[in-house]
C-alpha cells in the first residue's frame, strides 16, 4: 500500500543498524538526523501511545519539541504508527542527501506529498516536510500554501523551493554550512515534488 516506506527503509543507515533499529525507536528518539519522521509526517501519521495509565493518540507532527525532546512522558511507549490511506490521485516522494558517505546520517531529507484535483493538474493538498535542518522536522507551510490550488509549473516550483529553503533553521556542522543546507533543501524540493506530482497523476 505504501511502497515509499520500503524505498526509504533501504536507505536508512546501514544493514547492521537496520537489522536492530525499530520504527518506534527511530520516531521516539527525537534525533534530528533521521529519515522516517518527515516521511510519516507527510503521510499524516498518528501515533498510538501506551502507558500504565492508558492509551492516547497523537499526530506524529506534534511529537517533537526540540533536539532529542519529545512529548512522550517517561512511562509512555509508541505501540503503533497509524497511517491513513492515501486518497486517490496522490503521490509521495522522499529524497535524502548525505554529504559525506551514503551510509552516513542525512544532511537534508525532504518528503513531499500531493493530492491532485479531478483535473489531475491542480494541487489540492500539499505536504512538504523538511528533515535534519532544524531541531525538529519542519512543515514548509509557506511553500505548501503557494502550491495548493494551482497546477504545477516550473516558475511556481522555483518559488516554492526558495520559500522552503527559508522556512528551516539549519546548523552549520561537519555535514555542511547553513547556506549550503538551505541550498540543498531548495534542490531537493525541486527534485522531489515533481516526482510526487507525476505519481499523483498516474494514481
Ligand X SMILES: Cc1cc2nc3c(=O)[nH]c(=O)nc-3n(C[C@H](O)[C@H](O)[C@H](O)COP(=O)(O)OP(=O)(O)OC[C@H]3O[C@@H](n4cnc5c(N)ncnc54)[C@H](O)[C@@H]3O)c2cc1C
Binding residues for ligand X, rule: CB under 6 A, are 12-13, 17, 20-22, 24-26, 28-29, 34-36, 72, 77-78, 105-106
- Closest CB to ligand X among residues 39, 163: 39
Q: CA-CA distance, 10 to 141, in Å (whole number)?
A: 28
Residues 167, 84 contacting (CB under 8 angstroms): no
Least gap, CB of 34 to ligand X (angstroms): 3
Cβ neighbours around 84 below 10 Å, total: 9
Q: Which residue is nearest to ligand X (CB)?
A: 25
Name the minimum Å distance from CB 28 to ligand X.
3
Calculate ∠ Cα 111-113-115, nearest 5°: 180
Phi-psi region of 132 (alpha: psi -120 to 50; beta: other; left: phi over 0): left
**Residue whose CB is less far from ligand X, 78 or 116:** 78
Nearer to ligand X, 89 or 181 (CB): 181
Nearer to ligand X, 57 or 77 (CB): 77
Min. distance of Cβ 157 from ligand X in angstroms? 26
Contact 82, 46 (CB under 8 A): yes
Least distance CB 94 / ligand X (angstroms):
11
CB 156 within 8 A of CB 185: no
Nearer to ligand X, 78 or 86 (CB): 78
User: Could you tell me the smallest distance in angstroms from the CB atom of residue 109 to ligand X?
Assistant: 8
Residue spans of alpha helices (H) in 108-168: 141-147, 154-166
Amino acid at each position: 500500500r505504501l511502497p515509499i516506506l520500503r524505498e526509504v527503509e533501504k536507505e536508512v543507515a546501514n544493514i547492521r543498524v537496520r537489522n536492530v533499529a525499530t520504527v518506534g525507536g527511530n520516531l521516539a528518539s527525537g534525533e534530528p538526523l533521521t529519515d522516517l519522521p518527515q516521511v510519516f509526517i507527510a503521510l499524516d501519521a498518528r501515533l498510538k501511545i501506551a502507558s500504565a495509565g492508558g492509551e492516547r493518540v497523537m499526530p506524529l507532527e506534534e511529537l517533537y519539541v526540540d533536539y532529542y525532546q519529545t512529548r512522550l512522558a517517561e512511562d509512555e511507549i509508541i505501540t503503533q504508527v497509524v497511517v491513513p490511506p492515501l486518497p486517490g490521485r496522490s503521490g509521495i516522494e522522499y529524497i535524502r542527501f548525505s554529504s559525506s558517505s551514503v551510509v552516513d546520517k542525512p544532511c537534508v531529507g525532504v518528503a513531499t506529498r500531493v493530492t491532485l484535483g479531478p483535473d489531475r493538474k491542480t494541487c489540492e493538498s500539499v505536504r512538504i516536510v523538511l528533515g535534519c535542518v532544524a531541531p525538529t522536522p519542519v512543515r514548509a507551510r509557506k511553500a505548501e500554501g503557494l502550491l495548493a490550488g494551482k497546477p504545477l509549473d516550473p516558475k511556481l516550483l522555483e518559488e516554492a523551493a526558495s520559500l522552503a529553503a527559508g522556512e528551516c533553521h539549519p546548523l552549520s556542522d561537519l555535514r555542511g554550512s547553513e547556506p549550503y543546507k538551505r541550498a540543498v533543501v531548495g534542490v531537493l524540493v525541486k527534485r522531489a515534488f515533481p516526482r510526487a506530482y507525476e505519481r499523483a497523476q498516474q494514481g
